[in-house]
């Protein structure tokens, strides 16, 4: 099976570390941009050593007009929290399946820019290349931030797969149009699997390995689990306490 155009040797040698672009206003322009950006992804390899791993997630405040994006940085392998960042932004792009990154990524990028430390790896609650145009949230963020990024989605957006085995670490290949775009991974015994797909600067095997390495005994890897907890509390107007630790954030 093919793994996509971005895995060729020519693409590997020319893949940019980061990109910038204008944010389109229409769905048509956004989809066209996705198709262009997908050719700039580097889907191979991965970080050999990770000292700091970040998880990113987004939640919407009551009413749905304001979103809160948060990033939680953990030390690897101990999984201790070392830094958080959170921002509030008004929603500027409608909810359209397949165009999630145009709704959420600007706020996540803003939270990333407030970080004092630079993570070696980013895990996102969303898709990587397991996407109709191969540019889900994790892939888009990987390009924008120039960081290895992995999508860890709770549900399938597209592609076909068999059922993975029941034990932690069991997996099945996720295939879209004859191309391997990720893996369906059991991250905890006998719980629903996660849809893991590389976003940028990482391959499928490395993506699966790092998701499992960042597990904390829950279904979600610890970085995205804690980011999910943080944005959920902020969206409900609660104190930003994650895993029993009160965290000072600068959500504005």
- Which residue carries 């999910």 as its tokens? 228
pLDDT tens, position by position, 117-168: 999 999 999 999 999 999 999 999 999 999 999 999 999 999 999 999 999 9
So what's the architecture of 5-14+26-246 in CATH? 2-Layer Sandwich (3.30)
Is the overall model pTM greater than 0.85, yes or no?
yes
How far apart CA 249 and CA 42 sit, in angstroms, is 33
Query: Quick one: which of 92, 96, 111 has its CA closest to 34?
Result: 96
CA distances from 149 to 18, 48, 139 (A): 12, 14, 7
* Contact between 81 and 72 (Cβ < 8 Å): yes
pLDDT tens, position by position, 202-225: 999 999 999 999 999 999 999 999
The pair of structure tokens assigned to 149 is 């990024």
Give the CA radius of gyration of the chain. 17
Can you give the pLDDT at residue 239? 72
User: What totals of helices (H) and strands (E) does the chain contain, helices first?
Assistant: 6, 10
**Domain parsing of the chain, residue ranges:** 5-14+26-246
Q: Where are the alpha helices (DSSP H) in the chain?
A: 9-14, 27-37, 100-113, 137-145, 204-213, 222-235
Can you give the pLDDT at residue 240? 74
Q: Please give the backbone phi and psi of residue 156, each rounded to the nearest 5 degrees, phi first.
A: -85, 135
Mean pLDDT (the chain) is 91
């Amino acid at each position: 099976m093919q793994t996509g155009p971005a895995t060729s040797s020519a693409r590997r040698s020319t893949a940019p570390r980061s990109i910038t672009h204008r944010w389109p206003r229409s769905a048509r322009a956004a989809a066209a941009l996705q198709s262009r950006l997908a050719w700039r992804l580097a889907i191979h390899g991965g970080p050999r050593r990770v000292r700091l791993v970040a998880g990113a997630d987004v939640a919407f405040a009551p009413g749905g007009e304001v979103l809160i994006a948060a990033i939680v940085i953990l030390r690897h392998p101990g999984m201790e929290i070392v830094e958080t960042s959170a921002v509030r932004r008004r929603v500027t792009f409608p909810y359209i399946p397949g165009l999630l990154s145009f709704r959420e990524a600007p706020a996540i990028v803003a939270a990333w820019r407030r970080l004092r430390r630079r993570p070696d790896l980013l895990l996102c609650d969303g898709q990587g290349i397991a996407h109709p145009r191969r540019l889900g949230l994790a892939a888009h963020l990987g390009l924008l931030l120039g960081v290895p990024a992995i999508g860890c989605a709770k549900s399938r957006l597209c592609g076909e797969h068999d059922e993975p085995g029941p034990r932690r670490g069991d997996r099945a290949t996720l295939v879209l149009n004859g191309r391997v775009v990720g893996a369906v991974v059991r991250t905890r015994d006998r719980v629903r699997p996660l849809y893991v797909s590389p976003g940028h600067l990482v391959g499928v095997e490395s993506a699966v390995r790092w998701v499992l390495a960042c597990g904390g005994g829950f279904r979600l890897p610890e970085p995205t689990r804690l980011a999910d907890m943080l944005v959920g509390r902020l969206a409900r107007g609660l104190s930003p306490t994650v895993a029993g630790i009160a965290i000072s954030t600068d959500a504005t």
